[in-house]
Structure 1
Amino acid sequence: MTSRSGDEEVAQRGRPTGNHEAKRAELLKAATSVIAQEGYANASLRKVAKRAGYTTGAVTYYFANKEEMVIALAESRFDNYDAMLEAIQGEGDIKTLVNSWLKTTVGDPEFWPVMSELLAHGRHDPALARVIAERYARYRDIYASILAAAQAQGTIRDDIPADLLADQLSAMGDGWTMMSPIEPERFTPQRVRELVDAVIALIAPVSGGRREAGS
């Protein structure tokens, strides 16, 4: 019988059984909890493994190191954004889009604690910063295309270019997301509905239509 090398035996022991994507998602969920509760600096692979109920070797089967795991976590967050936009893209319903954004961000108590840690670390990690910048740019581009379609349908104002509206609305949502864990009383279900209605009023069609060139 052919014997396996020591490295092969370690790799075999470290490899988790079951659905690959499901296990990877479990580890990213565990990483989210650890970072949200203990911060980026304290989020070791060992702690993530313990939170998920795996060995550290199982974690390194999916992620070679902490940096790779954190980039995967950032990518997964933006994957959720993209899925949210794609669900709306064909309809052009901006109110539903804003509601979905708030449900995804303000409605998740771990969302901003994790994103704030990733953004702060991205200042010193060019690879992570590049992923965040590229994915956020893609998000705004899709958002702008949805807004442009709504402008063509006459359901939102067209005197401001769609890309600027996308940037403004994204910044507004980011601000709410940042403050929601600190001021939860500002984001009761009733007030969130009022905030959404206010956004829709701000981008409602204006009399006079598209602004004149040079205005």
Structure 2
Amino acid sequence: MLKKQIGQASGNGDTELPSRRGRPPGDPEVKRAELLKAATSVIAQEGYASASLRKVAQRAGYTTGAVTYYFANKEELILALIESRFDRYDAMIDDIQADTAIEGLFERWLRLTTGDPEFWPVMSELLAHARHDPKLAAVYKQRYARFRDVYTSILAAGQARGTVRDDIPADLLADQLSAMGDGWALLFPLEPERFTPSRVKELVAAAIALIAPVPGTPR
């Protein structure tokens, strides 16, 4: 009761943390997924600062107490959310890694970031906040590093086959392509009409042309 009074007095919905009275009914994994989906929706539509536990609970149709059973506070919720976003990256990487085809990786990546209208707005919102949140920044650096490492290995394999230019180290090409893709993804929420399926194919083809072997360059 005291915690509730403090929360009401401060006007901060995140301060109100009802005591946990046992696990809410239902499948825990399903409930966690629903809460993460609700958090994604709130952040995409209203921004990170507005994503209080109370708003997430309302969006999911749960009580704030149900949210705090799974996530003790907003920081814990946001960390779980960003991990779940990168899990989707990892699943994409696992699907394409054995193929070592840079075209396939680029196409999958663009489909992932432009196919879900809430995916990249949330990723970019949290990335901006990570500048002032060491824990969130650590998750971004660790999980994004794996994506770049796989990118590098795929490009190195292409260099060995002669399908990717080898006058620039594979890790530098990986950084360049990652930055290019991130730039497209940042623009997509602002100009979705530009990223039609045909244009996405043209963007992929242009990126592949940039990393193609330079004619006359000795191997």
Matches within 5 A, 1:81-160: 81-160=89-168
Partner deviation per Cα, 1:102-157 (whole Å, 9 max, x = no partner): 11112221123212221221121111111112211222112211221222232322
Instruction: Specify whether residues 27 and 155 from structure 1 end up closer, same or farther in structure 2 by C-alpha distance, changes over 3 A only.
Output: same
Residues 1:70 and 2:78 aligned together = yes
Partner deviation per Cα, 1:151-187 (whole Å, 9 max, x = no partner): 2232322222111111111100000000111122321
Matches within 5 A, 1:1-215: 10-12=20-22, 15-208=23-216
Structure 1, gaps ≥5 residues long: 1-8
C-alpha separation in 1, matches of 2:217 and 2:177: 20
Contact preservation (8 Å) 1:106, 1:176 = no
Partner deviation per Cα, 1:76-116 (whole Å, 9 max, x = no partner): 11111111111111011111111111111122211232122
Paired AA for residue 21 in structure 2: A
C-alpha separation in 2, matches of 1:180 and 1:131: 24
Paired AA for residue 79 in structure 1: D
Give the number of equivalent residue pairs: 201
C-alpha separation in 2, matches of 1:168 and 1:103: 19
Contact preservation (8 Å) 2:43, 2:122 = yes
CA-atom RMSD in angstroms: 1.7
- CA drift of 1:18 comes to 3.2
- CA drift of 1:210 comes to 6.3
Identity %: 73
Contact preservation (8 Å) 1:112, 1:177 = yes
- Segments of 4+ in structure 1 off by > 3 A? 207-211
C-alpha separation in 1, matches of 2:218 and 2:57: 55
Q: TM-score, normalised by structure 1?
A: 0.87
- CA drift of 1:205 comes to 2.6
- CA drift of 1:66 comes to 0.3
Structure 2, gaps ≥5 residues long: 1-18
Q: Secondary structure at the match of 1:54?
A: coil
